[in-house]
Amino acid sequence: MTDSPEQNESRDFIRERIRADLADGTTGALVTRFPPEPNGYLHIGHAKSICLNFGVAEEFGGRCNLRFDDTNPVKEEQEFITAIEADVRWLGFDWGEGAHFASDYFEQLYAWAEHLIEAGLAYVDDLSAEEMREYRGTLTEAGRESPHRQRSAAESLDLFRRMRAGEFADGARVLRAKIDMASGNINLRDPVLYRILHAAHPRSGTAWCIYPTYDFAHGQSDAIEGVSHSICTLEFEDHRPLYDWLIDNLPTPSRPRQYEFARLAVTYTILSKRHLTRLVDEGHVGGWDDPRMPTLSGLRRRGVPAAALRDFIGRIGVAKSAQTVEVAQLEACIREHLNQSAERRLAVLKPLRLVIENYPKGESELLDAVNNPEDPAAGRRQLPFSGELWIERDDFMEEPPKKFFRLAPGREVRLRYAYFVTCTEVIKDAAGEVVEVRCRYDPETRGGDAPDGRKVRGTIHWVSAAHAMAAEVRLYDHLFSRPDPGAEGEAFEDLNPDSLVALEDCQLEPSLTEAEIGQAVQFERQGYFAADPDSTPERPLFNRTVALRDSWAKIRKQQTAKR
């Protein structure tokens, strides 16, 4: 799964830092963590953080915790905890003995809050949220001190204990750090450490009605877990001085150091839980695991192998400069993996009836087909063939233009793995639409080649009508119609109305009844597909993981040509 250690060590600035810290003894043992807030499902941006945190732990003989930063009970749910655990496991990582939760440290965090009050470094403030905002100042203007800032430690301690005891309403009071209202860094202008929230927590229930802020819980949770390298995204760079201040002023058992890297963005989608939550809540998608979602559960449902995702993350690298990656690069990576691993099947998505006039009536036979030309170990299978087939509507044209080499009146083509057929007649309905093509086959061409050496230009796929399995197949396109959704206005106005096309009367080769849920197969000439978890024997349902067309290769070619 990982490259050689020499490559890894110098692969990016984080790995370089870790190697140096281990070499000069700054760090005894490497400890990292992946710290999701359980307020949504994980997306592909999180995968970058997961692969980085778990990846370096693996590479440098360290340990990586899965820690839930569950400090905001209003938005957090057990459903999200369960989904996050499943997604991290699916990506291929193991956090060892049990997940960790910031909520497990509530008692310790509370004790440390009292410690700060006693040291004169925190105070209870009675300003309303709106007043606090007003007092905070702006980027260019210093803030003002709250009238409660000079309150005695004893008074603050008493009020803080009464906050905990539930005497006050939500928002009535907060605990703030006493740092510097004139600081150039707004995060140091007496940030809030605790707020009152009479809300049940998914894990601690109603034990608490005050909750630590993310900023107060995060660094201290790292310190409790002995995290040596606290790796996070760049938006927390400005919070680092606050985290360092807290660690300097608290008797924590260890001193984590924070390193920031750039978030991942991917074209034609959005990676923000706030937006993803809205997509789900407003019904723009079927749920968090809708195959169009950039979530790990959506990608899994779509048939993307975890290995392809890990590979993609490895290829894009880790740096400090903003990172927007072409979705085509992800698709190319998925294709590359599936080309190696996915078995081939025949499937007709838009069926047109083909009748072979000279094939013995009512008979059928089994033909030999290769499961995966890239992998001989995948073996072969038997395909039932008969005189009535389904072919792809797009593989026939009554008046074919130049370069159309598939079936047309009078033309001979190869039926994949089967015979040469020549079109003899076209049958239309009252509206003039082609409803059936009639052919004659050459029995000498069994297996797909002519003994007399004659060639055909086209090979098309087919499914025997009597043996076919009817199924629904869903084709997906980008969820948004522009590469940078929301760049000019509201992101939701850029939703792609054609992101889902459901084809309800597809005809698949019968061996697909045994397709495993989520396991991608290649429908020859079409793309990679995976059976959906909602698929049943009565109502089979397949999702297109990715089309065969390699648009990335095209883009790459254009790009190299430009250079």
Instruction: Assess whether 273 carries a catalytic annotation.
Output: yes
Q: How far is the CB of 289 from ligand ATP (least distance, A)?
A: 16
Among 263, 416, 440, 556, binds ligand ATP (CB under 6 A): 263
| Residue 298 touching ligand ATP (CB under 6 A) | no
Helices 106-118, 214-224: crossing angle, 10 deg rounding: 110
| Residue 434 touching ligand ATP (CB under 6 A) | no
Q: How far is the CB of 533 from ligand ATP (least distance, A)?
A: 24
Nearer to ligand ATP, 264 or 330 (CB): 264
| Residue 316 touching ligand ATP (CB under 6 A) | no
| Residue 233 touching ligand ATP (CB under 6 A) | yes
Quote the CA–CA distance of 481 and 230 in Å, as a whole number: 36
Nearer to ligand ATP, 68 or 396 (CB): 68
Q: How far is the CB of 38 from ligand ATP (least distance, A)?
A: 8
Which residues lie closer than 8 Å to 252 by C-beta, 6 or more apart?
112, 220, 223, 224
Instruction: Assess whether 557 carries a catalytic annotation.
Output: no
Q: What is the longest distance spanned by two Cα atoms in the chain?
A: 102
Instruction: Assess whether 37 carries a catalytic annotation.
Output: yes
Angle at 330 between CA 329 and CA 333, to 5 degrees: 90
Among 8, 27, 36, 327, binds ligand ATP (CB under 6 A): 36
Count Cβ atoms below 10 Å from residue 302 Cβ, excluding itself: 25
Q: How far is the CB of 37 from ligand ATP (least distance, A)?
A: 4
| Residue 347 touching ligand ATP (CB under 6 A) | no
Find the part of the chain contacting ligand ATP (CB under 6 A) among 33-41, 190-198, 357-365, 457-465: 33-41
Among 8, 27, 32, 49, binds ligand ATP (CB under 6 A): 49
Q: Which of the following is catalytic: 37, 331, 392, 524?
A: 37
Nearest residue to ligand ATP by CB is 45
Q: How far is the CB of 36 from ligand ATP (least distance, A)?
A: 4
| Residue 88 touching ligand ATP (CB under 6 A) | no
Q: What is the 3-state secondary structure (H, E, C) of 28-88?
A: CCCEEEECCCCCCCCEHHHHHHHHHHHHHHHHCCCEEEEEECCCCCCCCCHHHHHHHHHHH
**What letter would DSSP give residue 263?**
P
Quote the CA–CA distance of 134 and 128 in Å, as a whole number: 10
| Residue 463 touching ligand ATP (CB under 6 A) | no
* Cβ pair 124, 194 in contact under 8 A: no
Residue 545's H or E segment, with its range, is: strand 541-547
Q: Which residues pair with 392 in a beta bridge?
A: 351
Q: Which of the following is catalytic: 67, 273, 301, 310?
A: 273
Both tokens of 553, joined, read 């290769």
Which residues lie closer than 8 Å to 52 by C-beta, 6 or more apart?
14, 231, 261, 313, 318
Residue ranges in 190-209 that form contacts with ligand ATP under rule CB under 6 A = none
Interface with ligand ATP by CB under 6 A: which residues?
35-37, 45-46, 48-49, 232-233, 263-264, 271-274
